[in-house]
Amino acid sequence: MTCSRMGIIVLILVLFPLIVAGSMIAILVAAGNDLPDWALVVIIFLILLLTAYWLIGFIKKWGTVPCTVEISERELKITLKKKSVFYPGTVFQSSWADLKSGSSGYEVQRQERFYKVQFSKPDLTVYLNSPEKVRDSNHETEFSSLFLAYVALQNVDSEKQGKQQIDTRNFYQSKWAKVIT
């Protein structure tokens, strides 16, 4: 499985190109009218290629991290296999009662399931991406079935005790997804 923080990745995908574009404009203004048109086109093209290369490399190296997930009746534990600047540690675990959100989504293009997990301590939201292929959105992986069953059990217990339930809305039901799609 891999683990990612979509909010930070989206922020990087927006801010980094803006910073590069600002730098490119500053370079072009500083160069003035001394450069021929072909040189300007080559410079802009090279900067765009480098920006795409840096973004993809940055996200692959730091944005998506391999991890292991342990799931039991008592807790959910995610252990990152390498450190990343986007995470405050390498181990995140929580009892089911301390999870804010837990849901499953389906990515049509890659035919893969992903899982949104929001911890309350630390206040952290991660997306787990399963490498297992599924035929369509109606099919679940073994992990998905177990994960969603524990979330449902916790919500039944929370309802009986009058406590807050785990939010089960998936990514596509969020405000962000409605704005983007």
Q: What is the pLDDT of residue 175?
A: 66
Q: What is the pLDDT of residue 181?
A: 59
Give the tens place of pLDDT for each residue, 65-74: 999 999 999 9
The answer to whether the beta carbons of residues 65 and 81 sit under 8 Å apart is yes
Give the tens place of pLDDT for each residue, 26-67: 877 887 777 888 888 888 899 889 999 998 888 888 788 999
Model confidence band, residue 176 (pLDDT cutoffs 50, 70, 90): low
- Read out DSSP for 108-122? TTTTEEEEEEEETTT
Taking the CB of residue 121, how many other CB atoms lie within 10 A of it? Answer: 11
Q: What is the pLDDT of residue 92?
A: 92
C-alpha neighbours within 13 Å on the C-beta side of residue 24: 18
How many Å is the Cα radius of gyration of the chain?
21
Q: Is 117 exposed, middle or buried (0-12, 13-18, 19+ CB in 10 A)?
A: buried
137: pLDDT strictly greater than 80: no
Q: What is the pLDDT of residue 180?
A: 62
Q: What is the pLDDT of residue 171?
A: 64
- Return the percentage of the chain with pLDDT > 70, whole number: 93
The pTM (predicted TM-score) of the whole model is 0.76
Helix %, strand %, coil % for the chain, to 5?
50, 30, 25
User: Token digits for 177?
Assistant: 């997804």
The answer to whether the beta carbons of residues 9 and 63 sit under 8 Å apart is yes
Give the tens place of pLDDT for each residue, 99-108: 999 988 888 8
The rounded distance, in Å, linking the Cα atoms of 61 and 163 is 39
Give the tens place of pLDDT for each residue, 146-169: 999 999 999 999 889 888 888 888
Q: What is the pLDDT of residue 38?
A: 86
Which helix H or strand E contains 81, and what residues bound it?
A: none
